[in-house]
Chains A and B, each alone.
Chain A
Amino acid sequence: AQSVTQLGSHVSVSEGALVLLRCNYSSSVPPYLFWYVQYPNQGLQLLLKYTSAATLVKGINGFEAEFKKSETSFHLTKPSAHMSDAAEYFCAAGAGRGGYNKLIFGAGTRLAVHP
């Protein structure tokens, strides 16, 4: 069965520092992979997605993620953190009958950015 593991439930960085949020997936077939972000009191929003095209995927707000099949990883990075990046981030993998019609989410990583 498909599963998604996010290493680190809380990550804290300084403003301007590199952001690295880790995600590993388990799958017997190449998955569709996603990162979603949830700001306080808002619904989840799609940051970026991997669908077996380019392995380096660029998303909104300067985030990107790299699909590494050998490591079954899809880590999210941003070169320079901004205070507005403070939020909870969820990695997800597509799964389901007849295609990838449902998402399996990781437990989430809460990102704090301090001055």
Chain B
Amino acid sequence: DTGVSQDPRHKITKRGQNVTFRCDPISEHNRLYWYRQTLGQGPEFLTYFQNEAQLEKSRLLSDRFSAERPKGSFSTLEIQRTEQGDSAMYLCASSAQGHTGELFFGEGSRLTVL
């Protein structure tokens, strides 16, 4: 399977703990995106990378959130000191340059903060 993969698929944590999600994009895609989706809502943009450069971050991405893509391949999204409001599905997507808006999404990582 050469699609976008995310790990873990489900994470349950206690408030105040740190969590990290990993995304492996389609190998030839140089753009990688993180979105957050809550129940009854569409995906909300968090941030995106072109190769290893983080080009845009949403205001939704508070200081507790950090994303990296150190070698321009996989990416990690870390949430520090989790809060109950962080409970959501975290989606990763990738796209090829020149294919504006044609995002390939992973199945998501569901976070539950108790």
Contacts and interface: CB of A to CB of B under 8 A. Distances in A.
Interface stretch (B14-22, B62-70, B74-82, B97-105): B97-105
Q: How large is the interface on A (under 10, 10 to 19, 20 to 34, 35 or more residues)?
A: 20 to 34
A4 B41 CA distance: 12
B40 A107 contact: yes
A41 B107 CA distance: 7
B111 interface: no
- Residue from A45, A99, A100, A101 whose CB has the most chain B CB atoms within 10 Å: A101
A108 B91 CA distance: 15
B100 A99 contact: yes
Given A102-B45, A105-B43, A107-B40, A32 B56 contact: no
A71 B108 CA distance: 34
Interface in B36-61: 40-45, 48, 50, 55-56
B83 to A, nearest CB: 23
A90 interface: yes
A49 interface: yes
Contacts of B55: 97-98, 101
B42 A46 contact: no
A43 B100 contact: no
Given A44-B105, A94-B100, A100-B100, 7 more contacts: A4-B42, A32-B101, A43-B104, A43-B107, A46-B103, A103-B45, A105-B35
A11 B43 CA distance: 20
25 contacts: A4-B42, A32-B101, A42-B107, A43-B3, A43-B91, A43-B106, A44-B93, A44-B105, A45-B105, A46-B104, A49-B101, A49-B102, A51-B101, A94-B100, A97-B55, A100-B100, A101-B31, A101-B55, A101-B100, A102-B45, A102-B48, A102-B56, A103-B43, A103-B103, A108-B42
